[in-house]
Amino acid sequence: MSYLINGEAGSSHLLMGNEAIVRGALEGGVSVATGYPGTPSSEIVESLAGVAKERNLYVEWSVNEKVALEVAAAASFAGLRSMCVMKQNGVNVTSDFLLHLASSGTRGGMVLVSCDDPGALSSVNEGESRLFAKMVEIPLLEPGDFQEAKDITKWAFELSEEIRNLVMIRSVTRMSHASGNVRYGKLPDGKAHAQFDFHGSLLDQEKGPMISMVVSAAELQHGPQQEKLRKAAGIFEECPFNTYNGPERPELLIVTSSACNLYSREAIKALNLEKKAGVLKLATTWPLPRNVIKRHFALTDRIMIVEEVLPTLEENIKVLAAEMAPEIGIKTFYGKRSGHIPSVGEMNPDLVIGALSSVLGLKRKSMPEAFAGKARKLAETVVPKREMTFCPGCPHRASYWSIHNAIEMDNRKGFVCGDIGCYTLGMLPCGFSTLKTVHSMGSGSGIASGFGKLTQFGMDQPVVAVCGDSLFFLAAMHAMAIAVLQTSPFSLVSLDNSGTAMTGFQAHPGIAANAMGEEMPALDIAEICRAMGARVEKADPFDLEGTRKALNEMMEHREGAKVLILQQACALSPQRKGRKSYEMEIDEEMCLGEECGCNRICTRIFGCPGIVWNREKGVSTIDELICTGCGVCADICPQGAIKRREAE
Amino acid sequence: MGSAGFNKDPYSLIITGVGGQGNVMASRVLGSMFVNKGFSVTVGETFGASQRGGSVMSHIRISEGSSWSPQIPAFGADIIAAMEPVEGLRVLAQYGNPRCTLICNTHPVYPVNVIKGEDAYPSLGDIKRHVKSLTPHAIFMDATEEARSLGNPILANMIILGALCGVGRLPVGHGDFREAIAERVKTDQVALNMRAFDAGIALLGR
């Protein structure tokens, strides 16, 4: 992380979009940063934590996004600059406090960063956070390249202090996780001092209490809040980050923002349309800069909006265009609503090239079919697909093996309610298709608690919820509280791999260190569950028989809440990575292959990438480079052909 | 090494492989080498859920001017470096063209469906034949074996990076790599990474 604070002002560095946001926050004098990990946002808080000591910051991985925003708000109320970071889904979680915060306003510059994941590359769904800015009436900024990601973040703190309200920045995966040149500015020296003033009147934004609801709230708070937004709109008319590239009177005007700006530029170059089409790239996407748009719309008749997820920009622009029609005339629009831009999924240059070609009636220049057809055929017929699977030596594979087998043995059509993390893959064959519901963070526990109460309507299937260790604190413990209270026959399996593994081992309340690496007393999931009134057992998922027995006992016990903690560190965790417990070997004489009757249980069903079916020899073999030496597969071979011996 | 600049702007490279092979590290080191030389670089990366056994890809755009799309248009790559052979073929089929150079590690990482015996993994001979039907400019090397002889198979990424820089189309070399790798790894790891980089250049001659 040192390159984030050591570079001279004026020097150029290759930074990820997320790192550019970090550098911008540091240049903007941020003092407090909070968040909850989630792809593609996690590197922001992580990188800030990495420089917390040198820059005198307080950085926190919070228990969830709502608490994260509250902690950051406290810093702002006390006059400090603060930032709160989350993935798109986190904005849903924090939205209740968000509305209140937007109403009370802020003091020290405060920035909310949401990293959206168009195409759901690393998400359960393809959500949209831009609408929240409109809904809670705060300004929204979207950087159009990496330099802007830094510059806009720094500027966002100034804007927030200017209007005394929260400013939201929205990034997307291809901005957050892509990298580009960033020229550094200066880091501030001054020391921040925190004090909360509250002696002024209820409506005194500078010295009064920070309260989102006062008597006659609608009139007294909502009005001034909208005034702040109007002030932002005025500032946006002069914002240097709204730029236009193209001819004076373009035949077609593209209006876009964020990563789609780069796709649009690429498409114009690929089609040699520099003299015909222009790109109006907006960085201030709520509220929209009315006069900027009017100026550009007056010089063209055809407008294409390039954006991802919902037609948010398109619809907001069309409202303005309708209002301005008497002055600028009627325009023709192309975008998601006309079908020129896909309504779902991530954008890329080829999709913009296709849309431009269709609108302008171009015969698309592309690879001759002789090559393209051959390439397509090879990709479809020769190249094997790579399905997602658990890593070699992953404790989740072993846990699902036992859960699946325990449910089969129980034989009452039991099922598992899933949740969010690496273990969501339990819905796929790599997890033996064990999960039968998957929704938002913590929902598996709430849904399982609900199923448990359906006995009164004749439901007698055993229900098990799974949740990770970080998720237990985020949301599952609340579901368990009501399950205990309502005596729901609730069974929770905590897949405790000792870290927020999916996003890169960030700290959570069950870990004995915080985001900044300081030692902390860890909260014990087992003790919390016992204190809440649940029966708690622990097992090692690598002990297949012991785990299966514990699961069956849990399912047989119909009354009250039961928790089984399956504890084994993630195979990629610092404590396990590169260390084998066992050297594994397959005795080729003992492996009977297709003749065995096991139906190749090790390679075909268990499916650990460390064991490979050798077609020529008709036996299974261990891939030493991939095997992590967990030893679990030795217990699934009915022939005992898989041998483990203690590693040195 | 190549000439002072490129014959194309932006120049487009892809580094591909399977999650866990050090794809992201290689792409960022390569990107830094060009930023340090004064180029404008954009690196687009696919990671996240793909780390769990999936294909990974980094798109690198090098320009005299500005940032470009972090995704290269179809058939638009100038060089592809693959740390896994079928990933090399997969990416060549989507982003390659008859002028595109492929540098390809020959050590396979089997997809889960191949491990299960449900899908066939093409032989190295077949992969080479298919690659050559798409481009005559293909170089194959067992970077994983070479990395193992250096002490750690993960170094295959730096070996492939060495070959990529040594193939004569990029205006960067040994010294640029030293500067960029030193920014990203611990001081005591620099020498080993340098050896891997140089081994990649040496493999081109074999």
Enumerate the domain spans of chain A: 3-187+211-236, 243-360, 395-567, 582-646
Q: Does B65 touch chain A (CB under 8 A)?
A: no
Residue A350: C-alpha distances to residues A173, A282, A439, B88 (Å) = 18, 21, 32, 21
Contact A1, A50 (CB under 8 A): yes
Nearest-angstrom CA–CA distance, B147 and B106:
12
Name beta bridge partners: A539. Answer: A566
* Domain A243-360 is found in CATH 3.40.50.920: yes
- Give the containing element (helix H, strand E) for A200: none
Nearest CA in chain A to B93: A375
pLDDT recorded at residue A507: 85
Q: Do domains A3-187+211-236 and A243-360 have the same CATH topology?
A: yes
Fold of the CATH domain A582-646:
Alpha-Beta Plaits (3.30.70)
Residue A611's nearest CA partner among A620, A619, A599, A600 is A620
Fold of the CATH domain A395-567:
Rossmann fold (3.40.50)
Q: Is a pLDDT exceeding 50 seen at residue B81? A: yes
pLDDT recorded at residue A215: 58
Nearest-angstrom CA–CA distance, B45 and A175:
10
What is the ipTM metric for this complex?
A: 0.93
Kindly give the residue spans of alpha helices, DSSP state H, lying in A382-416. Answer: 395-410
pLDDT recorded at residue B183: 84
Residue A605's nearest CA partner among A643, A637, A583 is A637
Residues of A in contact with B128 (CB under 8 A): none
Helix axes B174-184, B190-204, angle to 10 degrees: 140
pLDDT recorded at residue B1: 36
pLDDT recorded at residue A257: 98
Report residue B43: phi and psi, to 5°.
-120, 120
The low-confidence residues of chain A, meaning pLDDT below 70, are 1, 214-219, 364-365
Q: Pick the residue of A14, A308, A378, A619 with the most B CBs within 10 A to test the interface with B by mutation.
A: A14
Residue A45: C-alpha distances to residues A62, A93, A193 (Å) = 11, 18, 22
First and final C-alpha spacing in chain A: 35
Tokens for A126, please give them: 């393809």
Question: Do B49 and A263 count as a contact with CB atoms less than 8 A apart?
Answer: no
Nearest CA in chain A to B34: A14
Q: Is a pLDDT exceeding 60 seen at residue B4? A: no
Helix axes B124-134, B85-95, angle to 10 degrees: 20
Pairing of strands B138-141, B101-105: parallel
Contact A96, A151 (CB under 8 A): no
Q: Is a pLDDT exceeding 50 seen at residue B2? A: no
Question: Do A386 and B122 count as a contact with CB atoms less than 8 A apart?
Answer: no
- The single residue listed with the structure tokens 């480079």 is A625
Nearest-angstrom CA–CA distance, A121 and A124:
9
Residue A62's nearest CA partner among A80, A39, A84, A81 is A84
Higher pLDDT: B8 or A158? It is A158
> How many beta-carbon pairs under 8 angstroms link A with B?
181
pLDDT recorded at residue B206: 74
pLDDT recorded at residue B51: 55
First and final C-alpha spacing in chain B: 17
- Which domains, and CATH codes, for chain B? 11-204 (3.40.920.10)
Q: Which of B48, B52, B90 comes nearest A425 by C-beta?
A: B52
pLDDT band at B3 (very low <50, low <70, confident <90, very high): very low
Cα-only R_g, chain B: 16
Tokens for A13, please give them: 């560095």
> Stretch B51-58: mean pLDDT, rounded?
79
DSSP chain B: ---SS-SSSSEEEEEEEETTS-HHHHHHHHHHHHHHTT-EEEEEEE-SGGGTT-EEEEEEEEESS----SSPPTT--SEEEESSHHHHHHHHHHH--TT-EEEEE------HHHHTTSSPPPPHHHHHHHHHHH-S-EEEE-HHHHHHHHT-GGGHHHHHHHHHHHTSSSS--HHHHHHHHHHHS-GGGHHHHHHHHHHHHHHHT-
* Domain A3-187+211-236 is found in CATH 3.40.50.970: yes
